[in-house]
Chains A and B, each alone.
Chain A
Amino acid sequence: GAGVSQSPSNKVTEKGKDVELRCDPISGHTALYWYRQSLGQGLEFLIYFQGNSAPDKSGLPSDRFSAERTGGSVSTLTIQRTQQEDSAVYLCASSPRAVWGRWEQYFGPGTRLTVT
């Protein structure tokens, strides 16, 4: 079946512009996660959703970052007034939380964001 998809795959933007990153999770997966991976670095947790609500927003780096999820499916991560330090690969993952023990995450290919 279809996996997690993310768009765009690459985004180059000028410093100060706003960007929107989109994630389409696997159908039926109730949990959705956003992570950031800088070059050669580990995964930095940003936010996760259970349905449409986000119980934990503690990972968002600043108030320039926001995320929403509608209809328990698609999620968008918005970065306002982008800075060069925002350059990274943004990864989305989903998991079928509703099934006990099925908490492994399925990752999308990521969006590579470059802020010039």
Chain B
Amino acid sequence: AQSVAQPEDQVNVAEGNPLTVKCTYSVSGNPYLFWYVQYPNRGLQFLLKYITGDNLVKGSYGFEAEFNKSQTSFHLKKPSALVSDSALYFCAVRDRNRDDKIIFGKGTRLHILP
């Protein structure tokens, strides 16, 4: 069955430090992977995606993510965190072999400490 896991409910990072939000996935075929962000009292926004090609993908607001097929991971990263990055982050996966169903992880709350 198609699934995605975000092992950390919350991540705390000091402003200016690098941040990583973890995501692992399980699909029957090759995956399409996404990251979304939900700022307080705002809707979900698309950050970046991996479809094919380079394993390192760059997205909005200076975020990037690395696709690792052997580890079935798609961790979200940023070299230097900002307080304004504090939000709820969701990883999502679409199974290439299963039409358009997209499954989301439970979310990781990121706190950037000033």
Majority DSSP secondary structure for residues of A touching B = strand
- How many residues of B are counted as interface, with CB atoms below 8 angstroms from the partner's CB atoms? 21
CA distance A56 to B98 in the complex (A): 10
Chain A interface residue count: which class?
Answer: 20 to 34
CA distance A104 to B104 in the complex (A): 12
Select from chain A the residue with minimum beta-carbon distance to B35. A104
B103 at the binding interface (Cβ < 8 Å):
yes
Contacts A42-B90, A91-B44 given; does A105 touch B105 at CB 8 Å: no
A104 and B49 contacting across the interface, CB-CB below 8 Å = yes
Q: In the assembled complex, how far is the CB of residue A91 from the closest CB belonging to chain B, in whole angstroms?
A: 7
B100 and A103 contacting across the interface, CB-CB below 8 Å = yes
| Contacting residue for B102 out of A33, A42, A106, A110, CB 8 A | A33
- Interface 1/0s, chain B 10-25, versus A by CB < 8 A? 0000000000000000
Q: In the assembled complex, how far is the CB of residue B91 from the closest CB belonging to chain A, in whole angstroms?
A: 10
Q: Which residues on the A side are within 8 Å of B30 (C-beta)?
A: none
| Contacting residue for B101 out of A41, A48, A91, A108, CB 8 A | A48
B74 at the binding interface (Cβ < 8 Å):
no
Q: Which residues on the B side are within 8 Å of A108 (C-beta)?
A: 43
Q: In the assembled complex, how far is the CB of residue B81 from the closest CB belonging to chain A, in whole angstroms?
A: 22
Q: Which residues on the A side are within 8 Å of B106 (C-beta)?
A: 41-42
B27 at the binding interface (Cβ < 8 Å):
no
By a beta-carbon cutoff of 8 Å, the part of chain A in contact with chain B is 31, 33, 35, 41-43, 45, 48, 50, 55-56, 91, 93, 95, 97, 101, 103-110
Q: List 14 A-B contacts (CB under 8 A).
A: A35-B104, A43-B90, A43-B107, A45-B104, A48-B100, A48-B101, A50-B99, A103-B32, A103-B34, A104-B34, A104-B46, A105-B34, A107-B43, A107-B45
